[in-house]
Amino acid sequence: MKKKHVIPVAVLSSALLMGTVSPAQTLAVSPNANTEVVQKKVHSEGKGKPFFVKQMQSEKQKSADGKNAKEFLNKNKAKFKMDKPEESLESTKVTKDELGMTHVKLQQKKNNIPVEGNEVTVHYSSDNRVQSVSGQFNEAIEKEGLPSKASLSASESIKLAKKAVEAPDQLVESPDSELVYYSFQGENHLAYKVNVNFLGDSPGNWSVYVDANSGEVIDQYNKIMHAQDYKSSKGSGIGVLGDQLQLHITHKNDKSVRPGTNFYLFDNSHEDLEGIYTYDMKNQWGESDLQFPGVLFSSPNASFKDSYDRPAVDAHYNSEEVYDYYLEEHDRNSIDGEGMAIKSSVHFGEDYNNAFWNGEQMTYGDGDGEFFVPLSAGLDVAAHEMTHGVTTYSAGLKYRFQSGALNEAFSDIFGALVDEEDWEIGEDIMAEDARESGRTSLRSLSNPSKYAVGSKYTEYGDGNGKYPSHMDEYYDLPKDLDNGGVHINSSIINHAAYLTGEQIGKDKLGQIYYRALTVYLTPDSDFSHARESLIQSAVDLYGENSAEAQATEDGLNQVGITE
Ligand SMILES: [Zn+2]
């Protein structure tokens, strides 16, 4: 009997490839290839449907500010399915971007209490005309008769939250408790959002949602971990493919690891970044003995050269490369844009042929040695996984059907932009046997159809059984097969990006796709919404009739995304 391993996920798990089938039918399926990636409810569940309305052609307003944005929404409220926008929205942030556009962010409120996760942004052109409106607005909460008063006190909510996360008596700071309306799994609650932050054996910085009347804990998640007392140093190592790499590491004395000074794959050298951490899962599945993220990868000296060290060396080095890419190209400080810690775990499971982002961190298997080598060897794989994080903290694309395929596509596209030599994904992680059988990468943006998708998917496509590169070859998959084709239909978007990139180059392609991901796309965006968002981003950056906007549109037209 094969043991079924269930990967614990915090928020949202996005794997590098389809979870239940070996990517190439001709190769032996590894004993653990049936590892399932469990899809837990996404935190954005139950939000209002995202929208993006453009070409509003509004009158010129005196200024681009919260008051005028609300007035505008009020005039157009039927279009936005809002009942009382002036009452239900509160301006929270006004930002002017490098193009002279102003973005006015408004938080949805009810009874003066924020509706968690629902906000609307009014985008103004430089001459103060409303150019577009995007965001999410929960109509149900606006209309529903929900309680406005809590029968539970804030201090009672804190007690319940601390109990739910098994917090010790000693906390880093006294917990905050704030009333919000929270929509989870289809139900709307008046809830306390409680922050509980503590150190100790398993430190935590938790957000816990407690129903303000029943006292039920609705939802909870852990946000960050901190490490202290580590001193920076330089180290070196050898990667999976034999590269000699310089590393940022730290050291400290910790007898519980081994006597004397220990060196860690923990990089605290970047200002305003909480650190880059690489952990060892010791070939465990994160079930009983060793919980995520594992133990911080360590060595008795500053040189990480054992064969067991190699996947960790690559994960650590590649994380910093991807961090540098986002900082230098997009002025984005880490995954959340605010310097959150970048964490990876290596040696996950046994012969595990996959890598994933679990909502908080990257995780890499060692591969079975026949199809894959340790998956952290691929810079594009690291960029793919980290981009899932960027997506979580920006567009929040839901991991199913077209929004999920967009989520996967943005990860592949930024994979190919960071690892910029080619338009292939995974060319550095293919093992000898796979290469010999003609599988030289995992997916191709330039020619998706050179690889087969796997026989169980074939009947849902055009019968060809290849990755699609056009809407005519779209796979109409049910949700229980690859979450409705997230790793398959993504290749249509991948190919559109390639076609555009060939015209304007990778740098400009990156600017356009990054702007769409972080400014316009929302959790339920589909391919058509992506088309509008991408073209609008290119117009914002390079102008209405620019070659860049034309190339963006061309790429999408050529793959059959024409409206
Ligand atoms: Zn992925």
Q: Kindly write down the DSSP assignment for every residue of 68-117, as one continuous string.
A: HHHHHHHHTTTTTT-S-HHHHEEEEEEEE-TTS-EEEEEEEEETTEEEEE
Is residue 487 flagged as an active site residue? yes
**Residue 296 pLDDT greater than 80, yes or no:** yes
Question: What is the CA(409)–ligand 1 centre distance, in A?
Answer: 8
pLDDT at 30: 27
**Residue 54 pLDDT greater than 80, yes or no:** no
Question: What is the CA(13)–ligand 1 centre distance, in A?
Answer: 9
- Using DSSP, state whether 246 is helix, strand or coil: strand
Question: What is the CA(553)–ligand 1 centre distance, in A?
Answer: 25
In the block, residue with structure tokens 């594992």: 294
Contacts of 174 (CB under 8 A, 6+ apart): none
87-108 as b/e, with b when 16 or more CB fall inside 10 Å?
ebbbbeebeeeeeebbbbbbbb
Question: What is the CA(360)–ligand 1 centre distance, in A?
Answer: 14
Lowest model confidence (mean pLDDT) among 171-185, 270-284, 349-363, 463-477 = 171-185
pLDDT in tens, 446-473: 999 999 999 999 999 999 999 999 999 9
Question: What is the CA(14)–ligand 1 centre distance, in A?
Answer: 5
Q: DSSP of 405-449, one letter per residue?
A: HHHHHHHHHHHHHHSTT-SEESTTSB-HHHHHTT---SEESS-GG
Lowest model confidence (mean pLDDT) among 170-174, 264-268, 450-454 = 170-174
Question: What is the CA(15)–ligand 1 centre distance, in A?
Answer: 5
pLDDT band at 29 (very low <50, low <70, confident <90, very high): very low
pLDDT at 203: 61
Question: What is the CA(75)–ligand 1 centre distance, in A?
Answer: 41
515-547 as b/e, with b when 16 or more CB fall inside 10 Å?
bbbbbbbbbbbebebbbbbbbbbbbbbbeeeee
CA distances from 301 to 59, 249, 261, 270 (A): 66, 11, 8, 22
CA distance 446 to 57: 38
CATH code of domain 154-222: 3.10.450.40
- Using DSSP, state whether 323 is helix, strand or coil: helix
**Count of CB atoms within 10 A of residue 22's CB?**
19
- Using DSSP, state whether 393 is helix, strand or coil: coil
**Count of CB atoms within 10 A of residue 430's CB?**
23
pLDDT in tens, 89-111: 999 888 887 778 888 989 999 99
The more confidently predicted of residues 37 and 274 is 274
Question: What is the CA(231)–ligand 1 centre distance, in A?
Answer: 34
416-558 homologous superfamily: Neutral Protease Domain 2 (1.10.390.10)
- Residues 375, 354 contacting (CB under 8 angstroms): yes
pLDDT band at 42 (very low <50, low <70, confident <90, very high): very low
383-408 as b/e, with b when 16 or more CB fall inside 10 Å?
bbbbbbbbbbebbbbbbbbbbbbbbb
Identify the active-site residue in 116, 370, 385, 424.
Answer: 385
CA distance 240 to 224: 29
pLDDT at 222: 64
pLDDT band at 360 (very low <50, low <70, confident <90, very high): confident
The percentage of residues in the chain with a pLDDT greater than 70, rounded to a whole number, is 89
CA distance 239 to 310: 5
CA distance 158 to 208: 9
Lowest model confidence (mean pLDDT) among 50-59, 95-104, 147-156, 303-312 = 50-59
Sorted by where each begins, the domain ranges of the chain are 14-43+229-394, 50-134, 154-222, 416-558
CA distance 373 to 366: 6
Contacts of 428 (CB under 8 A, 6+ apart): 241, 377, 378, 379, 380, 381
pLDDT at 45: 38
Question: What is the CA(272)–ligand 1 centre distance, in A?
Answer: 27
**Residue 380 pLDDT greater than 80, yes or no:** yes
The more confidently predicted of residues 15 and 94 is 94
Tell me the mean pLDDT in the region 54-71. Answer: 85
CA distance 106 to 94: 9
pLDDT band at 496 (very low <50, low <70, confident <90, very high): very high
Question: What is the CA(399)–ligand 1 centre distance, in A?
Answer: 10
What are the structure tokens assigned to 327, written together?
């900082």
Tell me the mean pLDDT in the region 167-195. Answer: 87
pLDDT in tens, 151-164: 999 999 999 999 99
pLDDT at 223: 55
Residue 516 DSSP code: I
pLDDT at 458: 96
Is residue 248 flagged as an active site residue? no
CA distances from 30 to 25, 368, 427 (A): 11, 6, 20
CA distance 320 to 344: 11
pLDDT band at 499 (very low <50, low <70, confident <90, very high): very high
pLDDT at 119: 83
pLDDT at 132: 82
- Residues 7, 39 contacting (CB under 8 angstroms): no
pLDDT in tens, 208-258: 999 999 999 998 876 543 345 788 899 999 999 999 999 999 998 877 778
Beta pairing class for 342-348 and 362-365: parallel
Residue-averaged pLDDT of the chain: 87
**Residue 36 pLDDT greater than 50, yes or no:** no
CA distance 288 to 86: 51
pLDDT band at 43 (very low <50, low <70, confident <90, very high): very low
Name the fold adopted by 14-43+229-394.
Answer: Elastase; domain 1 (3.10.170)
**Secondary element (H or E) of residue 494:** helix 490-504
Contacts of 288 (CB under 8 A, 6+ apart): none
Identify the active-site residue in 487, 495, 532, 548.
Answer: 487
pLDDT in tens, 420-442: 999 999 999 999 999 999 999 99
Lowest model confidence (mean pLDDT) among 104-108, 273-277, 356-360 = 356-360
Q: Which residue type does 454 have?
A: G
In the block, residue with structure tokens 């793959």: 559
The more confidently predicted of residues 521 and 42 is 521
- Residues 307, 374 contacting (CB under 8 angstroms): no
